[in-house]
């Protein structure tokens, strides 16, 4: 029983470290790409980690709006348009498609630019510009 507890604790700590390292984004474009990937995967923890603190609630609400439907991310490519200190603007190409029965909603990610800020040393998605 003690060996099981020790193993469980070790696995839990390793998982927490891996999750934290996955959330870290070395560039603004990577942060936005990872944000959209977490959004369609409906990964609440990752989405929260990739969102600015002021934007987190909105990001989670957007994710929850997909409900039981399975969004599909296609042809995602993001690049930095501008960087100024701890702020950046990112542009993405690609789409998110969501099937609602016979209807397909297509969200074109290139229609907006994305605000990204560095918080606690990591780049995080902060909404649109």
Closest CA to 35 of 27, 45, 47: 47
Among the four given CATH numbers 3.10.450.100, 3.90.1170.50, 3.40.50.300, 3.30.870.10, the one describing domain 27-128: 3.10.450.100
Overall pTM surpassing 0.85 (yes/no): no
Taking the domains of the chain in order of start, what are their residue ranges?
27-128
Q: Using one digit for the tens of pLDDT, what is the confidence trace for 49-70?
A: 999 999 999 999 999 999 889 9
Provide, rounded to the nearest whole percent, the portion of the chain with pLDDT above 90: 75
- pLDDT for 8 equals 32
């Amino acid at each position: 029983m003690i060996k099981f507890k020790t193993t469980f604790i070790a696995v839990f700590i390793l998982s927490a470290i891996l999750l934290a390292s996955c959330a870290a984004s070395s560039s603004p474009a990577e942060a936005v790409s990872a944000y959209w990937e977490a959004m369609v995967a409906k990964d609440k923890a990752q989405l929260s980690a990739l969102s600015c603190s002021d934007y987190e609630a909105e990001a989670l609400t957007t994710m929850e709006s997909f409900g039981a439907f399975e969004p599909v991310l296609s042809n995602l490519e993001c690049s930095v348009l501008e960087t100024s200190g701890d702020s950046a603007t990112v542009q993405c190409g690609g789409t998110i498609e969501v099937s609602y029965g016979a209807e397909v909603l297509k969200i074109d990610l290139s229609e907006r630019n994305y605000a990204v800020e560095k918080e606690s040393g990591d780049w995080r998605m902060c909404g649109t510009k």
